């Protein structure tokens, strides 16, 4: 007689609940930072030049042939035979944010005689001020503000996770709990330190992107901003397209490995939750929670 061992049943994914929770949390973060930027810009008007664009924004473009720098810019793009070029002046307005003092010039080169009947496009952007002159915002300061925003969001969600749950998870009745000691009568959240590590690991791809962007911005700051330097960079990227695509592919593969693959080949928790000994569970409405006190 063969006795079959019972196979362990992995906890459910709660995939769609997680998706809804993510959308809610993302919207709240975007809304919160938008109003924070409004307050900062009111106190410190010059700060608007350093701030990233609001989540709610519109972009308007018009023909940029009249821009005094268009001819010089197009001449330096080294347009290839068969390419058609045009320039657009675009300006981005963020909802409820003070209007920026610059827009950007978008030069696009279209190769119409592609053998596969499709139009390939390559483009380059330049920031310009009200007079149409090239303008370089302080990229280092902008990167520092973006990093501060991300770290603040991580700390805020870690605090909420240690006390209750994020607004999105509360809305769909999900909670993050430690695997050890969990049962259906105990939905106590993890401590603040564990929650902070979870949020940092969860946002690891974004943190890596911010650090990489910051390094590039610092290099640009050291070298200074000149149209010739930018053009050299454009030509370098064009000559090293496999390297650029390869780097982008590796980063996309890491995002897939870190965030998406665990949800497809499910092992009971996301990768970062397994590392920390946590899991996401469905909690009844109005379940009592004993909040873990913050470290003193």
* Report for 22-26, 75-79, 105-109, 227-231: range of highest mean pLDDT: 22-26
Per-residue pLDDT at 17: 94
Dihedral sign from CA coordinates of 146, 151, 154, 155: negative
Whether 91 contacts 135, CB under 8 Å: no
Whether 151 contacts 4, CB under 8 Å: no
Whether 190 contacts 164, CB under 8 Å: no
Q: Where are the beta strands (DSSP E) in 129-255?
A: 174-178
Ordered DSSP codes for 142-179: HHHHHHHHHHHHHHHHHHHHHHS--HHHHHTTEEEEES
CA distances from 228 to 73, 86, 131, 134, 142 (A): 9, 20, 20, 12, 23
User: 239: which residues sit within 8 A by CB, 6+ positions away?
Assistant: none
Which of 159 and 184 is assigned the larger pLDDT? 159
Per-residue pLDDT at 294: 46
Mean pLDDT estimate for the chain: 75
Whether 157 contacts 32, CB under 8 Å: no
Tens-place pLDDT, residues 259-272: 999 999 999 999 99
**Token pair recorded at residue 46:** 């010059």
| Percent of the chain's residues with pLDDT above 90 | 25
Model confidence at 292, in pLDDT bands (50, 70, 90)? very low
1: helix, coil or strand? coil
Cα 231 to Cα 243: distance, rounded to the nearest angstrom: 18
**Token pair recorded at residue 138:** 């302080």
Per-residue pLDDT at 270: 94
Match 């019972």 to its residue by tokens.
Answer: 6
What DSSP designation does 257 have?
I
Farthest CA pair distance, the chain: 89
pTM, two decimal places? 0.73
**Best CA proximity match to 178, nearest among 56, 247, 277, 263:** 277
Whether 214 contacts 140, CB under 8 Å: yes
* Overall average pLDDT of the 273-277 stretch: 94
């Amino acid at each position: 007689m063969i006795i079959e061992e019972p196979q362990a049943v992995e906890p459910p994914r709660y995939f769609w609940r997680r998706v809804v929770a993510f959308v809610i949390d993302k919207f709240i973060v975007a809304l919160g930072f938008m109003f924070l930027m409004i307050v900062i810009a009111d106190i410190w008007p010059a700060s608007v030049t350093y701030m990233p664009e609001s989540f709610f924004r519109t972009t308007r473009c018009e023909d940029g042939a009249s821009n005094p720098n268009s001819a010089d810019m197009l001449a330096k793009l080294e347009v290839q035979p068969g390419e058609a070029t045009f320039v657009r002046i675009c300006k981005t307005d963020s909802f409820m944010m003070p209007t920026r003092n610059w827009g950007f010039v978008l030069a696009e080169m279209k190769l119409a005689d592609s053998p596969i009947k499709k139009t390939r496009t390559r483009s380059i952007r330049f920031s310009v001020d009200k007079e149409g002159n090239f303008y370089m915002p302080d990229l280092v300061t902008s990167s520092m503000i973006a990093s501060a925003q991300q770290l603040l969001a991580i700390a805020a969600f870690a605090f909420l996770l240690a006390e209750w749950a994020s607004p999105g998870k509360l809305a769909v009745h999900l909670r993050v709990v430690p695997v050890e000691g969990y049962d259906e009568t105990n939905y106590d959240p993890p401590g603040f330190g564990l929650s902070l590590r979870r949020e940092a690991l969860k946002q690891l791809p974004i943190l890596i992107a911010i650090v990489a962007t910051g390094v590039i911005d610092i290099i640009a700051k050291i070298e200074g901003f000149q149209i010739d330097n930018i053009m050299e960079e454009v030509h370098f990227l064009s000559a090293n397209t496999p390297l650029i695509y390869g780097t982008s592919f590796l980063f996309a593969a890491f995002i897939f490995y870190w965030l998406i693959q665990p949800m497809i080949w499910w092992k009971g928790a996301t990768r970062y939750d397994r590392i920390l000994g946590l899991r996401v569970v469905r909690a009844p409405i109005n379940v009592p929670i004993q909040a873990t006190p913050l470290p003193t």
